[in-house]
């Protein structure tokens, strides 16, 4: 009967669309779930301020990378009514700087970037919303508290609520009744008080008390598992990450016979700082410094890559994910995969598999969370360079062609590398990656569709034949399915100069904290913009990263040890000769004067100078290809071309 209740509730939930209206002339309710509970509900920009992506902002807020990330992002993207003209409702510059510093490593680990348009220096320094601000601005008269009449919530510890205009308790009663089967099933004693705190919140001086994030997490952790067993998802409108912990001290105390929860803490162990979760919980008296020393003994095994599953296993054991103050248990299947790959190597050196990592001590209940299917397939992070930066980042080995490691898959697909970067369309890269490094979800590989294969082949096969290469037999399109498959890769966002500068900064292409400037990013875009579209696709940006990475590595190794890192005049001459830029004295002098600053040429100007010379060199070569004869041009011609362009 309990499952019947849940099924009925799930069918009703699928049809449910929750919306609230506000009849004020300009202010409208925003629907972004990640901004619920930030202290206001209406904005002039319900779909987001122009220039920002609600999806991107939502992904950033959901990382919970800073306790104030929702406050900052929401007040920027869906600003409170009047905040465009009233600094007192805008976030402070100091708040922005704090959140950006808190989130830098987390965003990089999750392949997210700081919004290009959000520049902290443009925000006010005073009379604004800070980390602990209480806004005291006369906006609208507080709504009147009203007695709770919704039957579902009449036995709460509070008796009065406050609702948005035009919302009635009769409407709320209809909405909240859809959850009755789930509450009746008894999946969690926290569910009912949480639902009431969302739909009929306690009225405090005419204002609604925001829901408690911890209460939500308790309800979701218990009821979410039952819902998933029936192929139902926790409602988007009740996403726990959208709520804060500020009101949790007022949340009802639920008497449940459980051990007291410990406090979640940010992960500081270096090996585990790039995981999909950022907080852990440890036993009393244990510190992450102790764990760092203990886990360090496994570094050699992680570095030799005896198993791609070893690192996630170690982290799940030593710094487990924190869920409402409780550790998520390790997965037995993940342990068995890591053990089968690494134990033979350990035995060669007379080392036994550690007792603390005994696989039989773990369960399979948490395996779905670690990307493990019931058949034993285990998702792992993509390490093939050409397949990083797509719309997914987890793959499955063996892959669709039976390769037993990503290293083998990379070797097999390497002959495509030059074609992907030169003659073929972006579709061939996406298709190849979905075959050699297929997308993995819950331990299952997602196949590309036959139509996806046919499009990639159509765009590339003719060009391949010009090089005497035929379409590989193992990639025959007839072997791919027509249903229950990936029909095409989501088109990656094209990058303009601002995007390039932001992604390079987020990717760590800085020196001593100094990132490349927008003017240098424009030069780099011009160099890599093969189709002269004014922006870059993922393949072009991949080539740009390699170009910048090589220059940065040379700069750091050769010139970065000085107190004020810079390139001297003699060093610059040698660097240009090494790249076969043979400039005469006059040309070099003009170039040097253009890019030098006090002490020499800094990192940003060094990248800009080399990029400009490479652009000129590529233009000259393109001119040679257009000559109506098969001839050699004297070397001084290129030097003269450089001199004309620079001097």
Write the pLDDT tens digit of every residue in 228-241: 656 567 777 777 77
Cα 169 from Cα 175, distance rounded (Å): 10
Distance between CA atoms of 492 and 539, rounded to whole angstroms? 10
pLDDT score recorded for residue 417: 63
Query: What does the chain come to in residues?
Result: 647
Cβ proximity of 343 and 387 under 8 Å: no
Residues 6+ apart with CB under 8 A from 245: 212, 213, 214
Report pLDDT for 165. 64
Predicted pLDDT at 252: 59
State what percent of residues in the chain have pLDDT above 90.
11
pLDDT of residue 595 exceeding 70: yes
Angle at alpha carbon of residue 238, lines to 236 and 239, rounded to 5°: 70
Top-confidence residue, 545 or 81: 545
Tens of pLDDT, residues 175-234: 787 777 778 777 788 888 988 888 888 988 888 888 888 888 888 877 876 676 565 677
What own/partner pairs with CB < 8 Å and gap ≥ 24 does 182-185 have?
182/5, 182/6, 182/9, 182/223, 182/227, 184/2, 184/5, 185/2, 185/5, 185/6, 185/223, 185/226
Token look-up 């800009």 returns 608
Flag the least confident range among 263-277, 444-458, 580-594, 612-626: 612-626
**Among 328-332, 341-345, 588-592, 641-645, the least confident range:** 641-645
pLDDT tops 80 at residue 638 = no
pLDDT digits (tens, 9 = 90+) for 87-128: 668 899 989 999 988 887 777 666 677 888 898 988 888 888
CB 82 within 8 A of CB 139: yes
Give the pLDDT confidence of 324-360 residue by residue, as tens digits: 788 888 888 889 888 998 999 999 888 889 988 988 8
Quick one: pLDDT band at residue 380, thresholds 50, 70, 90? confident
Pairing type for strands 279-280 and 265-266 reads antiparallel
Instruction: Read off the pLDDT of each residue in 54-83 and give the average, rounded to a whole number.
Output: 84
Is a pLDDT exceeding 60 seen at residue 630? no
Task: Report the share of the chain in percent with pLDDT over 70.
Answer: 80
In contact, 560 and 512? CB cutoff 8 Å: yes
List C-alpha distances in Å: 156 to 148, 351, 494: 9, 59, 51
pLDDT at 443 over 90: no
Q: Which residue has the higher pLDDT, 238 or 373?
A: 238
Measured CA to CA, the distance from residue 565 to residue 597 in angstroms comes to: 11
Residue 376: its pLDDT value, please?
A: 61
Q: Cα 49 to chain center, whole Å?
A: 21
User: Could you check whether the bond before residue 398 is cis, i.e. omega within 30 degrees of 0?
Assistant: yes
User: Which is more confident, 536 or 31?
Assistant: 536
Q: Whole-model pTM?
A: 0.36
Measure the CA–CA gap between 485 and 255, rounded to whole angstroms. Answer: 47
Q: Pinpoint the alpha helices (H) of 442-584.
A: 450-466, 497-506, 518-528, 538-559, 569-578
Band the pLDDT of 23: cuts 50, 70, 90. Answer: very low
Flag whether pLDDT at 593 surpasses 80: yes
Strand 28-29, strand 203-204: pairing: unpaired
b/e code 42-68 from CB counts within 10 Å (16+ = b):
bbbbeebbeebebebbbebbbbbbbeb
497: pLDDT strictly greater than 50: yes
pLDDT for the residue numbered 325: 82
pLDDT, residue 178, reads 76
More confident residue, 395 or 441: 395
pLDDT band, residue 17 (cuts 50/70/90) = very low
Name the strand (E) or helix (H) holding 433: helix 426-436
What is the pLDDT at residue 473?
Answer: 84
The residue with tokens 């060093």 is 571
pLDDT greater than 80 at residue 423: no
Beta strands in 340-413 (DSSP E): 379-381, 394-396
What's residue 373's pLDDT? 66
> Can you give 176-202 as a three-state secondary structure string?
HHHHHHHHHCCCCCCHHHHHHHHHCCE
**Does 136 score more than 80 pLDDT?**
no
Provide mean pLDDT across the span 247-265: 59
623-634: average pLDDT: 52
Indicate the range of 8-22, 154-168, 565-579 predicted with least confidence: 8-22
């Amino acid at each position: 009967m309990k499952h019947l209740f849940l099924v009925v509730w799930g069918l009703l939930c699928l049809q449910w669309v929750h919306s609230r209206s506000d009849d004020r002339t300009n202010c409208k309710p925003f629907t972004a779930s990640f901004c619920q509970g930030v202290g206001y509900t209406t904005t002039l920009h319900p779909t987001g301020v122009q220039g920002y992506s609600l999806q991107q902002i939502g992904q950033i807020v959901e990382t919970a990378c800073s306790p104030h990330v929702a406050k900052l992002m929401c007040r920027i993207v869906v600003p409170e009514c009047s905040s465009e003209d009233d600094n007192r409702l805008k976030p402070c510059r100091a708040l922005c700087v704090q959140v950006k510093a808190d989130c830098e490593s987390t965003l990089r680990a999750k392949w997210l970037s700081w919004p290009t348009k959000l520049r902290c220096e443009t925000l006010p320094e005073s009379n604004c919303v800070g980390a602990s601000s209480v806004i005291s601005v006369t906006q609208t008269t507080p709504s009147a508290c009203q007695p709770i009449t919704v039957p579902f919530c009449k036995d709460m510890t509070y008796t009065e609520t406050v609702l948005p205009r035009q919302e009635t308790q009769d409407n709320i009663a209809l909405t909240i009744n859809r959850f009755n089967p789930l509450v009746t099933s008894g999946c969690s004693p926290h569910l009912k008080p949480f639902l009431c705190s969302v739909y009929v919140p306690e009225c405090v001086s005419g204002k609604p008390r925001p829901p408690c994030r911890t209460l939500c997490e308790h309800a979701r952790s218990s009821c979410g598992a039952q819902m998933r067993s029936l192929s139902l998802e926790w409602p988007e409108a009740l996403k726990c990450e959208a709520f804060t912990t500020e009101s949790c001290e007022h949340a009802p105390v639920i008497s449940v016979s459980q051990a007291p929860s410990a406090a979640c803490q940010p992960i500081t162990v270096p090996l585990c700082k790039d995981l999909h979760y950022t907080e852990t919980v440890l036993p009393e008296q244990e510190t992450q410094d102790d764990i760092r020393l203990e886990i360090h003994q496994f570094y050699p095994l992680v570095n030799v890559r005896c198993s791609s599953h070893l690192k996630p296993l170690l982290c799940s054991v030593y710094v487990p994910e924190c869920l409402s103050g409780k550790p998520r248990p390790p997965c037995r299947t993940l342990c068995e995969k890591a053990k089968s790959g690494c134990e033979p190597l350990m035995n060669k050196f007379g080392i036994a598999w550690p007792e603390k990592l005994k696989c039989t001590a773990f369960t399979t209940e948490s395996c779905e969370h670690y990307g493990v299917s019931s058949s034993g397939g285990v998702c792992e992070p993509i390490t093939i360079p050409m397949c990083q930066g797509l719309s997914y980042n987890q793959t499955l080995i063996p892959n669709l062609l039976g390769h037993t490691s990503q290293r083998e898959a990379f070797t097999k697909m390497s002959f495509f590398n030059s074609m992907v970067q030169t003659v073929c369309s972006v579709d061939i890269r996406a298709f190849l990656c979905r075959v050699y490094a297929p997308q993995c979800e819950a331990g299952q590989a997602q196949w590309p569709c036959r139509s996806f294969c046919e499009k990639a082949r159509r765009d590339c096969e003719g060009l391949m034949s010009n090089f005497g290469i035929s379409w590989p037999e193992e990639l025959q399109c007839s072997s791919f399915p027509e249903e229950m498959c990936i029909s095409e890769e989501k088109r990656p966002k094209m990058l303009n100069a601002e995007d390039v500068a932001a992604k390079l900064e987020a990717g760590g292409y800085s020196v001593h904290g100094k990132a490349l400037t927008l003017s240098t990013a424009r030069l780099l875009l011009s160099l890599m913009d093969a189709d002269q579209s004014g922006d870059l696709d993922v393949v072009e940006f991949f080539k740009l990263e390699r170009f910048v990475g090589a220059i940065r590595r040379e700069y750091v190794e050769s010139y970065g040890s000085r107190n004020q890192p810079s390139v001297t005049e003699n060093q610059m001459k040698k660097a240009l000769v090494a790249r076969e830029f043979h400039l005469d004295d006059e040309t070099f002098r003009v170039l040097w004067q253009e890019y030098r600053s006090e002490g020499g040429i800094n990192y940003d100007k060094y990248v800009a100078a080399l990029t400009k010379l490479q652009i000129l060199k590529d233009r000259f070569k393109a001119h040679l290809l257009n000559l109506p004869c098969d001839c050699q041009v004297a070397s001084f011609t290129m030097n003269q071309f450089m001199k004309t362009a620079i001097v």
